[in-house]
Structure 1
């Protein structure tokens, strides 16, 4: 069942969302299966649009889909996109604390075949949504940022890729030869202790060698989770600038 939400500005980032006064954002579940396991995401869209501007897929942080990803999806829907927060852990995953988050992310990092199968299935489900014919961009936060790079390396046929403070290292045995060549945007803090500037520089070198269009924005002094509202790392200025970078990228690509 649709959950109606009045299309107001979601101002946590300081961005102003322009939308008609009568616009209404609705959300609904999106379900799919991978090898018999059930997965569920959340779709947000503006029902008053004749046609969405495209689809934006959001991959969650290491703790799964929560109010953060749902909020970001609604922000994008208010700007005319069909936004979908996709699940890579499955509906049966227990996500009650740090050890659970480590278990779920660790399993995917250890089994890249499973990681890619789940990404592929989520993207296939997203491809059925209104606006998909206008193009699809994938974005993600932290673990989700690493998932964005995994999707690019596996050759996902998408219009663009955006990583927010993601893990940037390329796993042993992988490279960028299968990437489709769609543009990549990397948004990262200079003080990120998880993937530092050496990792970012190595990624830029790899993308350049693979002739993949790419650019990065570096936010001086920003820590790992600089966009995550309420976290100890949150940086309002960097969050605002990163959101503007994302929306500018989407304006170019979609």
Structure 2
């Protein structure tokens, strides 16, 4: 009996030790004179260098949703950095502010690149990271950001967009996009109409980009964010969390990351 109790204690103790191995916390870095406030998460149970993944937030700004995704990536064996694209960790409390903050970045590609690349440099410098194996994922505004960075030729193995905008003023050019591209879209998302999807697919195919487009039936905008329904009701916006699409898109991402990081 004593041996059984000891075995149970050791088993639960070992589990707690594994869970406690996830290290996370805020980090500050700069793009020019702008202080950016990100969130770094990794598992210190191993000393091996592993792939790094940047997480770009929704138009609300760097928030808990982005941090939760970074934590899930760390639990899956990656080093994840939830970046700050607005500066100072700024968050929007109203769609008007969210539109203003995101618009300032979306309309200024050099600014977007500088802030994104600042996050890349920080992630590359982490001792746990294999600097040759980097990827980026993004949600909503963040999805459009990672697609723009792929179009711009950033040194990434792949980018994945969750319910992000697909339109661009800087379409992909043949031979320039190095990253593989995964787009996970809500089939009922009014912010991404069929003509935008068709234009995106044509763009990717014309530029010979290795891409995959997944449409989730019944899913609307912000389908991965559990706070979407509350925000939608509060501001009268077509935002809805979809548990099925959330789960399936995360599994799709896991498969994608394994593929691009194989070598």
Pair 162,237 (structure 1): closer, same or farther in 2 beyond 3 Å:
same
Contact residue 189 and residue 226 of structure 1 kept, 8 A: yes
Name the CA distance, whole Å, in 1 between partners of 2:116 and 2:181: 17
Name the CA distance, whole Å, in 1 between partners of 2:136 and 2:30: 20
Partner of 1:147: 145
Pair 124,133 (structure 1): closer, same or farther in 2 beyond 3 Å:
closer
Summarize deviations over 1:163-202 as a string: whole Å, max 9, x none.
000010022xx22127333210000011111112321221
Instruction: Report whether the alignment pairs 1:185 with 2:182.
Output: yes
Pair 94,201 (structure 1): closer, same or farther in 2 beyond 3 Å:
closer
Partner of 1:242: 249
2:172 aligned to which of 159, 176, 180: 176
- Displacement of 1:95 in angstroms is 3.1
- Displacement of 1:134 in angstroms is 5.0
Instruction: Give the alignment's TM-score, normalised by structure 2.
Output: 0.84
Partner of 1:16: none
Partner of 1:203: 200
- Structure 1 window deviating more from structure 2 (148-157 vs 192-201): it is 192-201
Contact residue 181 and residue 211 of structure 1 kept, 8 A: no
Give the RMSD, CA atoms, in angstroms: 1.6
Unaligned runs of 5+ in 2: 1-13, 230-239
Unaligned runs of 5+ in 1: 1-19
Rg comparison, structure with higher value: 2
- Tell me the SS of whatever aligns to 1:195: coil
- Displacement of 1:59 in angstroms is 0.2
Partner of 2:5: none
Name the CA distance, whole Å, in 1 between partners of 2:228 and 2:111: 30
- Displacement of 1:99 in angstroms is 2.4
1:215 aligned to which of 212, 215, 218: 212
- Displacement of 1:52 in angstroms is 4.5
- Tell me the SS of whatever aligns to 2:77: coil
Partner of 2:259: 252
Which structure is higher in helix share?
2
- Displacement of 1:133 in angstroms is 2.8
Name the CA distance, whole Å, in 1 between partners of 2:179 and 2:98: 30
Contact residue 52 and residue 82 of structure 1 kept, 8 A: no
- Displacement of 1:32 in angstroms is 1.5
- Tell me the SS of whatever aligns to 1:54: strand
Structure having greater relative contact order (Cα 8 Å, sep ≥ 6): 1
Pair 154,134 (structure 1): closer, same or farther in 2 beyond 3 Å:
closer
Partner of 2:233: none
